[in-house]
Structure 1
Amino acid sequence: MKYETKVTSIGGMVQENIEVGQLLILFNEDIQDTDLREIAVCHTVDTLKEDIIVGDVLTIAGKKFDVTSVGNVALKTLKDLGHCTIKFDGDTKSNLPGEIHVKGIIPDVKIGDIISFE
Structure 2
Amino acid sequence: MLTKYETKINKLGPSVSEFLGEKMFILFGDNAPIELAEYCLLIDVNPVEGDIVVGDILKMGEKEYAITAVGDAVKKNLVSLGHITLKFDGSQSPELPGTLYLEDANITADIEPGSGIQIISK
1:44-69 CA distances to partner (integer Å, 9 max, x unpaired)?
A: 22111121100000000110000000
| Partner SS state of residue 2, structure 1 | strand
Query: Are the counterparts in 1 of residues 27 and 84 from structure 2 also a CA contact under 8 Å?
Result: yes
Question: Which runs of structure 2 are paired with 1:1-118 in the superposition (5 Å)?
Answer: 1-19=3-21, 21-29=22-30, 31-103=31-103, 104-107=105-108, 108-118=110-120
RMSD: 1.1
- Matched residues in 2 for 1:84 and 1:58: separation? 13
Superposed displacement of residue 4, structure 1: 0.5
Percent identity among equivalent residues?
Answer: 35
| Partner SS state of residue 24, structure 1 | strand
Alignment: residue pair count? 116
| Partner SS state of residue 55, structure 2 | coil
For residue 26 of structure 1, what is the amino acid of its counterpart?
Answer: L
Structure 2 portions without partners, runs of 5+: none
For residue 74 of structure 2, what is the amino acid of its counterpart?
Answer: A
1:21-53 CA distances to partner (integer Å, 9 max, x unpaired)?
A: 110000112x14101211110012211112110
Assess, with a 3 A threshold, how the Cα gap between structure 1 residues 32 and 57 changes in structure 2: closer, same or farther. closer
Normalised by the length of structure 2, the TM-score is 0.89
Query: Are the counterparts in 1 of residues 4 and 50 from structure 2 also a CA contact under 8 Å?
Result: yes
For residue 28 of structure 2, what is the amino acid of its counterpart?
Answer: F
